[in-house]
Amino acid sequence: MAVTQSKPTTNMVLQSQPILESVSASANDKTVCLRRNFGLPDWLTDTFLKQDGFARRALAFLFLSIAPVLKLVLYVVGKLPINLMHPVTMNAWKLWLGLHKHVLPAALARRGMADSISTEAHALHNVLWWTRLFPSPVWILRFGLSQLDVTCPPTNKVRTEWVDSQHTPGLRSAYLHISPASETNPRVLFWVFGGAFVSGSVTYCLGVAERYGRTLGCDVFIVDMRICPEYTVQDHTYDLYCGYEQLLQRGVPPQNIVMHGTSSGGGSILRMLQLAGGDDATRQEFFGERSALLPSLPQPAGAIMLGPFVKLEEPDCNDSMQKNLTYDLIVTRSVYETALDLIDVFCGGRDKLEICSSLYHPMKGVCPLFISVSEHECLIDQDTELAKKAKDEGVDVVLSTRPYMPHVYHIFAGLMPEADQEEAKICDWVKSRGGVWA
Protein backbone atom coordinates (compact mmCIF):
# COMPACT_ATOMS: atom_id res chain seq x y z
CA MET A 1 0.00 0.00 0.00
CA ALA A 2 1.89 3.02 -1.26
CA VAL A 3 1.54 6.50 0.13
CA THR A 4 3.44 9.35 -1.46
CA GLN A 5 4.30 12.59 0.25
CA SER A 6 4.46 16.24 -0.74
CA LYS A 7 3.67 19.59 0.88
CA PRO A 8 2.11 19.66 4.37
CA THR A 9 -0.91 21.74 3.44
CA THR A 10 -2.45 19.14 1.15
CA ASN A 11 -3.99 15.69 1.62
CA MET A 12 -2.86 12.11 1.63
CA VAL A 13 -4.68 9.72 -0.67
CA LEU A 14 -4.32 5.97 -0.43
CA GLN A 15 -5.71 4.19 -3.46
CA SER A 16 -5.80 0.88 -5.24
CA GLN A 17 -5.99 2.57 -8.64
CA PRO A 18 -4.86 6.07 -9.71
CA ILE A 19 -8.23 7.78 -9.39
CA LEU A 20 -7.03 10.89 -7.59
CA GLU A 21 -3.61 12.41 -7.20
CA SER A 22 -1.59 11.16 -4.23
CA VAL A 23 -0.54 13.88 -1.83
CA SER A 24 0.91 13.90 1.62
CA ALA A 25 -0.29 14.33 5.17
CA SER A 26 1.36 17.02 7.21
CA ALA A 27 0.65 15.01 10.34
CA ASN A 28 3.81 13.12 9.38
CA ASP A 29 5.86 16.33 9.62
CA LYS A 30 7.49 16.01 13.03
CA THR A 31 8.42 19.70 13.03
CA VAL A 32 4.77 20.72 13.49
CA CYS A 33 3.98 21.47 17.13
CA LEU A 34 0.32 20.79 17.81
CA ARG A 35 -1.44 23.28 20.04
CA ARG A 36 -4.14 22.05 22.36
CA ASN A 37 -6.51 23.97 24.62
CA PHE A 38 -5.53 27.36 23.14
CA GLY A 39 -1.95 26.61 24.17
CA LEU A 40 -2.89 27.06 27.83
CA PRO A 41 -0.87 25.09 30.40
CA ASP A 42 -2.11 21.68 31.48
CA TRP A 43 -2.25 22.69 35.16
CA LEU A 44 -4.90 25.24 34.23
CA THR A 45 -6.99 23.18 31.79
CA ASP A 46 -6.79 19.67 33.29
CA THR A 47 -9.15 20.48 36.16
CA PHE A 48 -11.78 21.42 33.53
CA LEU A 49 -11.12 18.61 31.07
CA LYS A 50 -9.99 15.50 32.90
CA GLN A 51 -12.69 13.03 33.86
CA ASP A 52 -12.09 13.48 37.60
CA GLY A 53 -11.21 17.18 37.46
CA PHE A 54 -12.76 19.29 40.22
CA ALA A 55 -13.80 22.12 37.88
CA ARG A 56 -15.24 19.61 35.43
CA ARG A 57 -17.43 18.09 38.11
CA ALA A 58 -18.50 21.57 39.22
CA LEU A 59 -19.48 22.53 35.66
CA ALA A 60 -21.37 19.25 35.28
CA PHE A 61 -23.33 20.04 38.44
CA LEU A 62 -24.07 23.53 37.13
CA PHE A 63 -25.21 22.04 33.83
CA LEU A 64 -27.61 19.69 35.61
CA SER A 65 -29.06 22.55 37.60
CA ILE A 66 -29.88 24.60 34.50
CA ALA A 67 -30.77 21.65 32.22
CA PRO A 68 -34.58 22.17 32.43
CA VAL A 69 -34.25 25.83 31.42
CA LEU A 70 -31.71 24.97 28.73
CA LYS A 71 -34.04 22.33 27.28
CA LEU A 72 -36.79 24.95 27.03
CA VAL A 73 -34.46 27.46 25.37
CA LEU A 74 -33.22 24.90 22.83
CA TYR A 75 -36.78 23.82 22.11
CA VAL A 76 -37.75 27.41 21.32
CA VAL A 77 -34.64 27.94 19.19
CA GLY A 78 -35.37 24.72 17.31
CA LYS A 79 -38.84 26.03 16.43
CA LEU A 80 -37.61 29.29 14.95
CA PRO A 81 -38.06 29.49 11.17
CA ILE A 82 -35.02 28.76 9.04
CA ASN A 83 -35.49 31.98 7.06
CA LEU A 84 -34.83 33.82 10.32
CA MET A 85 -32.09 31.61 11.75
CA HIS A 86 -30.01 31.47 8.56
CA PRO A 87 -29.35 35.22 8.12
CA VAL A 88 -28.85 35.74 11.86
CA THR A 89 -26.33 32.92 12.06
CA MET A 90 -24.46 33.87 8.91
CA ASN A 91 -24.22 37.54 9.86
CA ALA A 92 -22.94 36.57 13.30
CA TRP A 93 -20.35 34.34 11.64
CA LYS A 94 -19.23 37.14 9.31
CA LEU A 95 -18.80 39.45 12.28
CA TRP A 96 -16.86 36.81 14.24
CA LEU A 97 -14.67 36.01 11.25
CA GLY A 98 -14.08 39.69 10.59
CA LEU A 99 -12.77 40.09 14.14
CA HIS A 100 -10.32 37.27 13.54
CA LYS A 101 -9.15 38.65 10.21
CA HIS A 102 -8.97 42.36 10.89
CA VAL A 103 -9.22 43.20 14.59
CA LEU A 104 -7.82 40.59 16.95
CA PRO A 105 -4.05 40.18 17.16
CA ALA A 106 -2.71 36.89 15.84
CA ALA A 107 -1.85 35.81 19.38
CA LEU A 108 -5.59 35.70 20.13
CA ALA A 109 -7.10 34.96 16.72
CA ARG A 110 -4.93 31.99 15.76
CA ARG A 111 -5.26 29.61 18.69
CA GLY A 112 -6.33 26.48 16.79
CA MET A 113 -4.37 23.23 16.65
CA ALA A 114 -1.80 24.37 14.09
CA ASP A 115 -0.76 27.74 12.64
CA SER A 116 -1.19 26.50 9.07
CA ILE A 117 -4.97 26.08 9.18
CA SER A 118 -7.18 28.79 7.71
CA THR A 119 -8.38 31.79 9.67
CA GLU A 120 -11.87 30.34 9.35
CA ALA A 121 -10.71 27.12 11.01
CA HIS A 122 -9.15 29.11 13.86
CA ALA A 123 -12.38 31.08 14.29
CA LEU A 124 -14.43 27.87 14.42
CA HIS A 125 -12.02 26.43 16.96
CA ASN A 126 -12.47 29.49 19.17
CA VAL A 127 -16.23 28.88 19.20
CA LEU A 128 -16.44 25.09 19.37
CA TRP A 129 -13.70 24.44 21.93
CA TRP A 130 -15.87 25.66 24.81
CA THR A 131 -18.48 22.92 24.28
CA ARG A 132 -16.02 20.38 25.68
CA LEU A 133 -16.38 21.90 29.15
CA PHE A 134 -19.95 20.66 29.60
CA PRO A 135 -21.76 17.30 29.37
CA SER A 136 -23.20 16.25 26.01
CA PRO A 137 -26.30 14.16 26.71
CA VAL A 138 -28.33 12.74 23.85
CA TRP A 139 -30.73 15.70 23.77
CA ILE A 140 -27.81 18.11 23.32
CA LEU A 141 -26.38 16.00 20.48
CA ARG A 142 -29.77 15.90 18.80
CA PHE A 143 -30.17 19.65 19.03
CA GLY A 144 -26.71 20.21 17.60
CA LEU A 145 -27.39 18.13 14.50
CA SER A 146 -30.82 19.72 14.13
CA GLN A 147 -29.03 22.98 13.34
CA LEU A 148 -27.14 21.69 10.29
CA ASP A 149 -29.54 23.35 7.90
CA VAL A 150 -29.05 26.76 9.54
CA THR A 151 -25.84 27.40 7.59
CA CYS A 152 -27.05 25.64 4.43
CA PRO A 153 -30.85 25.72 4.19
CA PRO A 154 -32.74 24.06 1.34
CA THR A 155 -33.96 26.30 -1.44
CA ASN A 156 -37.45 26.46 -2.89
CA LYS A 157 -36.14 25.53 -6.33
CA VAL A 158 -36.24 21.77 -5.81
CA ARG A 159 -39.30 19.54 -5.70
CA THR A 160 -39.14 17.30 -2.64
CA GLU A 161 -41.11 14.06 -2.83
CA TRP A 162 -41.76 12.42 0.53
CA VAL A 163 -41.57 8.64 0.32
CA ASP A 164 -43.15 6.45 3.03
CA SER A 165 -41.22 3.35 4.07
CA GLN A 166 -42.65 0.08 2.80
CA HIS A 167 -41.55 -1.81 5.92
CA THR A 168 -41.37 0.58 8.88
CA PRO A 169 -44.46 2.75 9.52
CA GLY A 170 -43.66 6.35 10.37
CA LEU A 171 -40.44 6.63 8.38
CA ARG A 172 -40.46 9.14 5.52
CA SER A 173 -37.51 9.46 3.18
CA ALA A 174 -37.03 12.47 0.92
CA TYR A 175 -36.44 12.31 -2.83
CA LEU A 176 -35.04 15.56 -4.20
CA HIS A 177 -35.81 16.02 -7.90
CA ILE A 178 -32.79 17.93 -9.18
CA SER A 179 -32.07 16.29 -12.56
CA PRO A 180 -33.76 17.83 -15.62
CA ALA A 181 -37.30 16.56 -16.15
CA SER A 182 -36.23 15.34 -19.59
CA GLU A 183 -33.75 12.87 -18.02
CA THR A 184 -35.60 9.55 -18.03
CA ASN A 185 -32.97 7.60 -16.11
CA PRO A 186 -31.51 10.00 -13.53
CA ARG A 187 -28.46 9.45 -11.40
CA VAL A 188 -29.16 9.43 -7.67
CA LEU A 189 -27.03 10.26 -4.63
CA PHE A 190 -28.24 7.94 -1.83
CA TRP A 191 -27.81 10.05 1.32
CA VAL A 192 -27.40 8.55 4.80
CA PHE A 193 -27.29 10.91 7.79
CA GLY A 194 -24.94 10.41 10.74
CA GLY A 195 -24.99 11.26 14.42
CA ALA A 196 -23.33 8.45 16.42
CA PHE A 197 -26.53 6.43 15.88
CA VAL A 198 -28.30 8.62 18.48
CA SER A 199 -29.17 11.71 16.42
CA GLY A 200 -29.75 13.02 12.92
CA SER A 201 -32.77 13.21 10.66
CA VAL A 202 -33.80 13.59 7.03
CA THR A 203 -35.05 17.15 7.46
CA TYR A 204 -31.76 18.61 8.61
CA CYS A 205 -29.85 17.18 5.64
CA LEU A 206 -32.02 18.72 2.94
CA GLY A 207 -29.89 21.81 2.28
CA VAL A 208 -26.49 20.09 2.20
CA ALA A 209 -27.82 17.17 0.17
CA GLU A 210 -29.35 19.61 -2.32
CA ARG A 211 -25.99 21.38 -2.69
CA TYR A 212 -24.26 18.10 -3.53
CA GLY A 213 -27.04 17.20 -5.96
CA ARG A 214 -26.70 20.52 -7.76
CA THR A 215 -22.93 20.17 -8.00
CA LEU A 216 -23.23 16.65 -9.44
CA GLY A 217 -26.37 17.32 -11.48
CA CYS A 218 -28.19 14.38 -9.91
CA ASP A 219 -31.23 13.60 -7.78
CA VAL A 220 -30.81 12.85 -4.08
CA PHE A 221 -32.60 10.24 -1.98
CA ILE A 222 -32.26 10.90 1.78
CA VAL A 223 -33.23 7.71 3.56
CA ASP A 224 -35.01 7.83 6.91
CA MET A 225 -33.84 5.52 9.71
CA ARG A 226 -34.63 4.82 13.35
CA ILE A 227 -31.99 5.88 15.89
CA CYS A 228 -30.65 4.72 19.25
CA PRO A 229 -31.21 4.26 22.15
CA GLU A 230 -34.92 3.94 21.37
CA TYR A 231 -33.96 1.42 18.68
CA THR A 232 -30.85 -0.57 17.82
CA VAL A 233 -28.14 -0.42 15.18
CA GLN A 234 -29.78 -3.46 13.58
CA ASP A 235 -33.03 -1.47 13.23
CA HIS A 236 -31.06 1.45 11.85
CA THR A 237 -29.36 -0.77 9.26
CA TYR A 238 -32.62 -2.54 8.41
CA ASP A 239 -34.24 0.79 7.52
CA LEU A 240 -31.21 1.67 5.41
CA TYR A 241 -31.34 -1.68 3.62
CA CYS A 242 -35.05 -1.29 2.89
CA GLY A 243 -34.50 2.28 1.70
CA TYR A 244 -31.90 1.12 -0.80
CA GLU A 245 -34.22 -1.65 -2.01
CA GLN A 246 -37.02 0.92 -2.37
CA LEU A 247 -34.83 3.16 -4.49
CA LEU A 248 -33.95 0.23 -6.76
CA GLN A 249 -37.67 -0.60 -7.05
CA ARG A 250 -38.24 2.89 -8.42
CA GLY A 251 -36.32 1.70 -11.46
CA VAL A 252 -32.98 3.34 -10.68
CA PRO A 253 -30.16 1.05 -11.91
CA PRO A 254 -27.42 0.39 -9.33
CA GLN A 255 -24.78 1.91 -11.62
CA ASN A 256 -26.76 5.17 -11.39
CA ILE A 257 -26.46 5.24 -7.59
CA VAL A 258 -23.63 6.59 -5.43
CA MET A 259 -24.00 6.47 -1.65
CA HIS A 260 -22.97 9.19 0.80
CA GLY A 261 -22.77 8.64 4.56
CA THR A 262 -21.43 10.72 7.45
CA SER A 263 -19.86 9.19 10.58
CA SER A 264 -22.21 6.44 11.81
CA GLY A 265 -24.04 6.82 8.50
CA GLY A 266 -20.84 5.90 6.66
CA GLY A 267 -20.34 2.85 8.85
CA SER A 268 -23.97 1.83 8.32
CA ILE A 269 -23.58 2.10 4.55
CA LEU A 270 -20.62 -0.27 4.59
CA ARG A 271 -22.33 -2.80 6.85
CA MET A 272 -25.40 -2.70 4.62
CA LEU A 273 -23.30 -3.25 1.49
CA GLN A 274 -21.61 -6.22 3.14
CA LEU A 275 -24.99 -7.71 4.00
CA ALA A 276 -26.42 -6.91 0.56
CA GLY A 277 -23.68 -8.99 -1.05
CA GLY A 278 -23.84 -11.76 1.53
CA ASP A 279 -25.95 -14.90 1.65
CA ASP A 280 -29.30 -15.47 3.35
CA ALA A 281 -27.66 -16.97 6.45
CA THR A 282 -25.50 -13.87 6.93
CA ARG A 283 -28.51 -11.57 6.73
CA GLN A 284 -30.50 -13.81 9.07
CA GLU A 285 -27.73 -13.70 11.67
CA PHE A 286 -27.80 -9.90 11.59
CA PHE A 287 -31.49 -9.09 11.07
CA GLY A 288 -33.18 -12.14 12.59
CA GLU A 289 -36.60 -13.24 11.30
CA ARG A 290 -37.18 -10.11 9.26
CA SER A 291 -34.30 -11.11 6.98
CA ALA A 292 -36.87 -13.22 5.11
CA LEU A 293 -38.15 -9.94 3.64
CA LEU A 294 -34.72 -8.89 2.40
CA PRO A 295 -33.29 -10.12 -0.90
CA SER A 296 -29.65 -9.76 -1.88
CA LEU A 297 -29.04 -6.39 -3.54
CA PRO A 298 -26.52 -5.24 -6.17
CA GLN A 299 -23.66 -2.92 -5.30
CA PRO A 300 -23.98 0.75 -6.32
CA ALA A 301 -21.41 2.63 -8.42
CA GLY A 302 -19.58 3.78 -5.31
CA ALA A 303 -19.86 4.92 -1.69
CA ILE A 304 -18.57 8.05 0.03
CA MET A 305 -17.88 7.71 3.76
CA LEU A 306 -16.97 10.77 5.82
CA GLY A 307 -15.20 9.78 9.03
CA PRO A 308 -17.06 6.44 9.10
CA PHE A 309 -17.70 4.83 12.48
CA VAL A 310 -16.86 1.19 11.71
CA LYS A 311 -15.69 -0.33 15.00
CA LEU A 312 -18.20 -0.32 17.85
CA GLU A 313 -16.24 -1.16 20.95
CA GLU A 314 -14.52 0.46 23.90
CA PRO A 315 -11.08 1.54 22.58
CA ASP A 316 -7.81 1.06 24.41
CA CYS A 317 -5.70 3.99 25.57
CA ASN A 318 -3.48 3.91 22.45
CA ASP A 319 -6.38 4.26 20.03
CA SER A 320 -7.06 7.62 18.38
CA MET A 321 -10.55 7.46 19.88
CA GLN A 322 -8.83 8.13 23.19
CA LYS A 323 -5.70 10.05 22.20
CA ASN A 324 -7.39 12.61 19.96
CA LEU A 325 -10.14 13.60 22.39
CA THR A 326 -7.83 16.47 23.30
CA TYR A 327 -7.90 17.84 19.75
CA ASP A 328 -11.22 16.80 18.23
CA LEU A 329 -13.77 19.63 18.41
CA ILE A 330 -16.73 17.40 17.54
CA VAL A 331 -16.01 14.15 19.38
CA THR A 332 -15.00 15.68 22.69
CA ARG A 333 -14.58 13.70 25.91
CA SER A 334 -18.17 14.57 26.82
CA VAL A 335 -19.50 13.20 23.53
CA TYR A 336 -17.29 10.13 23.87
CA GLU A 337 -18.59 9.42 27.38
CA THR A 338 -22.22 9.72 26.26
CA ALA A 339 -21.65 7.21 23.44
CA LEU A 340 -19.66 4.88 25.69
CA ASP A 341 -22.44 4.83 28.28
CA LEU A 342 -24.85 3.66 25.56
CA ILE A 343 -22.56 1.19 23.80
CA ASP A 344 -24.21 -1.83 25.46
CA VAL A 345 -27.68 -0.86 24.21
CA PHE A 346 -26.65 0.21 20.71
CA CYS A 347 -26.76 -3.32 19.35
CA GLY A 348 -28.92 -5.02 21.97
CA GLY A 349 -25.98 -6.19 24.07
CA ARG A 350 -22.21 -5.99 24.23
CA ASP A 351 -21.97 -9.45 22.67
CA LYS A 352 -23.45 -8.04 19.44
CA LEU A 353 -21.01 -5.17 18.95
CA GLU A 354 -18.80 -7.20 16.62
CA ILE A 355 -21.59 -8.23 14.27
CA CYS A 356 -22.56 -4.55 13.91
CA SER A 357 -18.99 -3.36 13.27
CA SER A 358 -18.31 -3.32 9.53
CA LEU A 359 -14.55 -3.38 10.11
CA TYR A 360 -14.77 -7.00 11.24
CA HIS A 361 -16.56 -8.39 8.19
CA PRO A 362 -15.46 -9.37 4.66
CA MET A 363 -14.94 -6.57 2.16
CA LYS A 364 -14.65 -8.65 -0.99
CA GLY A 365 -17.16 -7.59 -3.62
CA VAL A 366 -17.95 -4.21 -2.02
CA CYS A 367 -18.25 -1.29 -4.44
CA PRO A 368 -15.50 1.38 -4.78
CA LEU A 369 -15.08 3.46 -1.63
CA PHE A 370 -14.00 7.04 -0.92
CA ILE A 371 -13.06 7.41 2.75
CA SER A 372 -12.47 10.98 3.92
CA VAL A 373 -11.18 11.57 7.45
CA SER A 374 -9.11 14.02 9.47
CA GLU A 375 -5.69 12.91 10.65
CA HIS A 376 -6.33 14.36 14.12
CA GLU A 377 -9.84 13.17 14.78
CA CYS A 378 -10.97 10.28 16.92
CA LEU A 379 -11.74 7.83 14.10
CA ILE A 380 -8.52 8.12 12.11
CA ASP A 381 -7.11 4.81 13.42
CA GLN A 382 -10.13 2.69 12.55
CA ASP A 383 -10.61 4.40 9.19
CA THR A 384 -6.97 3.85 8.23
CA GLU A 385 -7.35 0.20 9.25
CA LEU A 386 -10.52 -0.01 7.18
CA ALA A 387 -8.82 1.39 4.07
CA LYS A 388 -6.00 -1.15 4.36
CA LYS A 389 -8.41 -4.03 4.90
CA ALA A 390 -10.50 -2.98 1.89
CA LYS A 391 -7.45 -2.68 -0.36
CA ASP A 392 -6.08 -6.02 0.81
CA GLU A 393 -9.41 -7.66 -0.10
CA GLY A 394 -9.46 -6.18 -3.60
CA VAL A 395 -11.72 -3.18 -3.11
CA ASP A 396 -11.05 -0.02 -5.13
CA VAL A 397 -10.53 2.39 -2.22
CA VAL A 398 -9.39 5.98 -1.79
CA LEU A 399 -8.40 7.26 1.64
CA SER A 400 -8.31 11.06 1.69
CA THR A 401 -6.96 12.62 4.88
CA ARG A 402 -6.42 16.18 5.98
CA PRO A 403 -4.53 17.32 9.08
CA TYR A 404 -5.68 19.50 11.99
CA MET A 405 -9.41 19.11 11.35
CA PRO A 406 -12.17 17.79 13.65
CA HIS A 407 -14.38 14.78 13.01
CA VAL A 408 -16.68 15.29 9.97
CA TYR A 409 -15.25 18.75 9.33
CA HIS A 410 -17.03 18.42 5.98
CA ILE A 411 -20.20 19.80 7.62
CA PHE A 412 -18.51 23.21 7.68
CA ALA A 413 -18.41 23.52 3.89
CA GLY A 414 -19.39 27.08 3.09
CA LEU A 415 -17.72 28.28 6.28
CA MET A 416 -14.22 26.83 6.06
CA PRO A 417 -12.02 26.46 2.95
CA GLU A 418 -10.62 23.09 4.06
CA ALA A 419 -14.15 21.68 4.00
CA ASP A 420 -14.89 23.32 0.64
CA GLN A 421 -11.76 21.77 -0.87
CA GLU A 422 -12.64 18.30 0.40
CA GLU A 423 -16.19 18.56 -0.88
CA ALA A 424 -14.85 19.47 -4.33
CA LYS A 425 -12.50 16.46 -4.19
CA ILE A 426 -15.39 14.17 -3.26
CA CYS A 427 -17.48 15.40 -6.19
CA ASP A 428 -14.51 14.93 -8.53
CA TRP A 429 -14.23 11.33 -7.34
CA VAL A 430 -17.91 10.73 -8.05
CA LYS A 431 -17.44 12.05 -11.59
CA SER A 432 -14.44 9.76 -11.98
CA ARG A 433 -16.74 6.73 -11.60
CA GLY A 434 -17.19 6.92 -15.36
CA GLY A 435 -20.27 5.75 -17.22
CA VAL A 436 -23.31 7.85 -16.42
CA TRP A 437 -21.35 9.79 -13.77
CA ALA A 438 -18.61 11.08 -16.08
pLDDT the model gives residue 277: 92
pTM over 0.75: yes
pLDDT over threshold 70, residue 68: yes
Does pLDDT of 12 surpass 50? no
Question: Could you give the C-alpha distances from 22 to 1, 4, 11, 250, in angstroms and in order?
Answer: 12, 6, 8, 38
Average pLDDT of span 419-431: 96
What backbone phi and psi angles, to 5 degrees, belong to 258?
Answer: -120, 135
195: domain CATH number is 3.40.50.1820
pLDDT tens-digit series, residues 351-373: 999 999 999 999 999 999 999 99
Collapsed DSSP state (helix, strand, coil) of residue 232: coil
> Are 166 and 120 in a shared domain?
no
Domain identity same for 208 and 290:
yes
Q: Per the structure, how many domains does the chain have?
A: 2
247 & 320 share domain: yes
DSSP per residue, 28-73: G-TT-----GGG--HHHHHHHHSTT-HHHHHHHHHHHHHHHHHHHH
Residues 290 and 223 in one domain: yes
217 and 248 together in one domain:
yes
The pLDDT assigned to 20 comes to 34
Q: Are residues 373 and 261 in the same domain?
A: yes
CA pair distance 167, 57, nearest whole angstrom:
45
CB atoms within 10 A of CB 332: 24
Same domain, 193 and 100: no
% residues pLDDT > 70 (the chain)? 93
10 Å CB burial of residue 147 (0-12, 13-18, 19+) is middle
Same domain, 141 and 162: no
Evaluate whether residue 27 is within a structural domain: no
Quote the domain boundaries for residue 103.
67-146
Helix (H) and strand (E) counts in the chain: 16, 9
Q: Which of 122, 146, 170 is the last residue of a domain?
A: 146
**274 domain-assigned:** yes
**Helix or strand run (H / E) with residue 302:** strand 302-306
* Residue 57 resides in a domain: no
In whole angstroms, give the CA distance from residue 103 to residue 149.
Answer: 29
Per DSSP, the residues of 112-137 read: SS-TTS-HHHHHHHHHHGGGGGS---
Residue 40 lies in a domain: no
118 and 193 co-located in one domain? no
Residue 362 near residue 390, CB atoms below 8 Å: no
CB atoms within 10 A of CB 185: 10
In a domain, 251, yes or no: yes
One domain for residues 164 and 92: no
Answer yes or no: do 214 and 77 share one domain. no
Asked if the structure places residue 365 within a domain, the reply is yes
Specify if 236 maps to a domain. Answer: yes
**Which of 146, 169, 190 is the last residue before a domain boundary?**
146
15 in a domain, yes or no? no
pLDDT in tens, 225-235: 999 999 999 99
Task: Give residue 102's pLDDT band: very low, low, confident or very high (50, 70, 90).
Answer: very high
110: three-class secondary structure by DSSP: coil
On the question of pLDDT at 2 being above 80, the answer is no
Q: Which of 119, 146, 173 is the last residue of a domain?
A: 146
Q: Does one domain contain both 130 and 228? A: no
